[in-house]
Amino acid sequence: MELGLLRAFLAVSEHRHYGRAATALALTQPTLTKQIQALERRLGGRLFDRGRHGAVLTELGAALLPEAQDLVERADALERRMVRLAAGHTGALTVGFGLSSLRLAPRAVAAFRRLHPEARVTLDDLPSQQQLDRLDRGELDAGFIRLPVDDRWGQLVLHTDRLAVACTGPPPPDDPDDLAGWLAGRDLIRLVRSRGPGLFQQIAGLCAALGLPASAAQETRDLQTVLALVAAGAGVALVPASAAGIAPPSVTLAPVAHPAAEWRIGAVWHPRRLRPLTSNFLDVVRDLSPPPGAEREGRGRPPQDAGTAPAR
């Protein structure tokens, strides 16, 4: 049944007058009359009795009224939902994050939900390569990962992270040469490779640059456990400086001033699968963490006037 005919019927039943109903619908009265007649032919009976008191519902019209109201209301609600979905205000979003985005990712989700409360966001804690694999399969909408990645991904540089020494007591020396000797005399606690392959490689690269063995006295599968072991006096650790927010009060994080200790963090998305909802999320990410200087430019950045936004 055509919604247009039902709307015409509802207008006449509301105004009880063909002329006023036609004006409300921005139609001519003959056009409205033809629509009512078409609906009556389809239903097999008259819907209105027309007389001195205007248009009065017949028994058939009275039976149709609640059904027509319900159908039109549900159609209007569906249209509103589809418009909001197409504009990226509602729907489901899956976002990946890693160790270096422990603070940024939850902040971005919270800010996005304030702007788009109808959206449902799932955060998945995944290493960078797993995020890329899931983006490729369409199982992830956006990810916060370690850069660089190749040019087939849309990407936006967000910030630079670096390794920091997590320890208790006096901080380590600032000079990398002195730091090498300081680390050599202490037990190293480390995250297992499978849990943080990028961090594992970063630590191995720094140890190689400092002339230190890459072996660890103890490994664990959780960064908070690494920091808890440091707090307990089991040794020291090399962790992302961005992990300062989850470190116990007794643990000091001293950033390492060495080129091998730093890496970039960015937002990444699949350019061919960029939905309006994802684009809106990436706009929030970019506003929360504006990259400095030249890092503000991201490859594969979608045009802003098209309702799209870049992410890492």
Q: What is the pLDDT of residues 247-304, one digit of tens each?
A: 999 999 999 999 999 999 999 999 999 999 999 999 999 998 754 444 333 334 443 4
Backbone angles phi, psi at 286, to 5 degrees: -65, -40
Same structural domain, 253 and 275: no
pLDDT value at 245 more than 90: no
The reply to whether 312 falls in a domain is: no
Same structural domain, 208 and 246: yes
CATH number for 216 = 3.40.190.10
Residues 308 and 279: their CA atoms lie apart, in Å, by 4
Count of Cβ atoms closer than 10 Å to residue 200 Cβ: 19
pLDDT at position 276 is 94
For tokens 């540089």, name the residue.
157
Residues 52 and 312: their CA atoms lie apart, in Å, by 69
Count of Cβ atoms closer than 10 Å to residue 28 Cβ: 12
Same structural domain, 233 and 166: yes
pLDDT at position 290 is 55
Identity at 156, one-letter amino acid code: L
Instruction: Name which residue leads in pLDDT, 311 or 13.
Output: 13
The reply to whether 9 falls in a domain is: yes
Distance of alpha carbon 226 from the chain centroid? 29
Distance of alpha carbon 136 from the chain centroid? 17
What is the average per-residue pLDDT within 65-86? 91
What is the average per-residue pLDDT within 188-208? 92
Q: Are 170 and 176 in contact (CB under 8 A)?
A: no
User: What's the chain look like in SS3?
Assistant: CCHHHHHHHHHHHHHCCHHHHHHHCCCCHHHHHHHHHHHHHHHCCCCEEEECCEEEECHHHHHHHHHHHHHHHHHHHHHHHHHHHHCCCCEEEEEEECHHHCCHHHHHHHHHHHHCCCEEEEEEECCHHHHHHHHHHCCCCEEEEEECCCCCCEEEEEEEEEEEEEECCCCCCCCHHHHHHHHHCCCEEEECCCCCHHHHHHHHHHHHHHCCCCCCCEEECCHHHHHHHHHCCCCEEEEEHHHHHHCCCCCEEEECCCHHHEEEEEEEECHHHCCHHHHHHHHHHHHHCCCCHHHHCCCCCCCHHHCCCCCC
Same structural domain, 103 and 145: yes
Same structural domain, 138 and 269: yes
Same structural domain, 30 and 175: no
Same structural domain, 221 and 246: yes
Q: Are 230 and 168 in contact (CB under 8 A)?
A: yes
Tell me what the pLDDT averaged over the chain comes to: 89
The reply to whether 311 falls in a domain is: no
For tokens 């209105």, name the residue.
48
1-48 tens-digit pLDDT: 799 999 999 999 999 999 999 999 999 999 999 999 999 999 999 999
Same structural domain, 41 and 188: no
Percent share of the chain, pLDDT over 70: 93
The reply to whether 96 falls in a domain is: yes
Same structural domain, 132 and 208: no
- Return the axis-axis angle of helices 197-210 and 128-137, rounded to nearest 10°: 140
The reply to whether 185 falls in a domain is: yes
Segments forming the whole domain that contains residue 113: 91-158+264-306
pTM of the model: 0.72
Choose the final residue of a domain: 86, 101, 125: 86
Dmax (CA) of the chain: 104
For tokens 């072991």, name the residue.
229
Same structural domain, 7 and 82: yes
The reply to whether 140 falls in a domain is: yes
The reply to whether 75 falls in a domain is: yes
- Domain count for the chain: 3
Q: What b/e sequence results for 162-184 when a residue is b if at least 16 CB atoms lie within 10 Å of its CB, and e otherwise?
A: bbbbbbeeeebeeebeebbebbe
Choose the final residue of a domain: 86, 105, 130: 86
Choose the final residue of a domain: 86, 106, 124: 86
Same structural domain, 114 and 148: yes
pLDDT value at 201 more than 50: yes
Q: Which of 46-50, 88-92, 130-134, 305-309 has the lowest mean pLDDT?
A: 305-309
CATH number for 75 = 1.10.10.10
The reply to whether 145 falls in a domain is: yes
Residue 264 backbone zone (phi > 0: left; psi -120 to 50: alpha; other: beta): beta
Residues 3 and 147: their CA atoms lie apart, in Å, by 52
What is the average per-residue pLDDT within 80-109? 89
Same structural domain, 148 and 167: no
